[in-house]
Amino acid sequence: MTLLCDKEIADLAINHNMIEPFVNKIVREENGRKVLSYGLGSYGYDIRLSPSQCLVFGRIDAGDTDPKNFNQDILRPVQLLKDDRGEYFLIPPYGYCLGVAEERLELPDNVTVVAMGKSSYARTGIIANITPAEAGWCGHLTLEISNATPLFNRIYANEGIIQLLFYQGNPCETTYHKRKGKYQDQAKEIVTCKV
């Protein structure tokens, strides 16, 4: 597999609708306000956190989380806040939340994506789980984010949150789409674990 560069990512985004909406450069400022960068980089693409939804794992007295029988009641919405630095969700100390990507992906049959945390967030204690999206997958990614600090931590909506690395190889025999993967065609809303 080969890591795709900016011109290859741009070609797939523009001519094959791989990323929508697509921004063909790194954006660091909007209307005179600095933002956490998003858009096309040298060897990746920084996606934005949608302001539409953020759910944090709530504090409960007992129980567990189970990927085979996920209890939606343990999630609670986080309020979208705003100040002169932008719109943001405030993640509690040692909190774990789910968000959703603003951009929609439609991966070709020979491209797989790996989502990685951005260094600006990593330096404040925000960790984004490393997750793949396989060849043929499409939809809005559900983002898994944790606050590893004893402090409240901001994650900004409509700004860069995760970098995607695109790997291209020979077309696989069975794509995510063909095998009817359980997370296919995700809308712009959080999708919890399914078995």
Amino acid at 92: P
Q: Specify the DSSP element, H or E, that contains 53.
A: strand 45-57
Across 39-61, b (16+ Cβ under 10 Å) vs e yields bbbeebbbbbbbbebbbbeeeee
Q: Which of 20, 144, 159, 189 is catalytic?
A: 144
Which residues on neighbouring strands pair with residue 30, listed in sequence order? 33
- What is the rounded distance in angstroms from the CA atom of residue 192 to the CA atom of residue 60? 18
Whether 87 sits among the annotated catalytic residues: the reply is no
Catalytic positions, written as ranges:
144
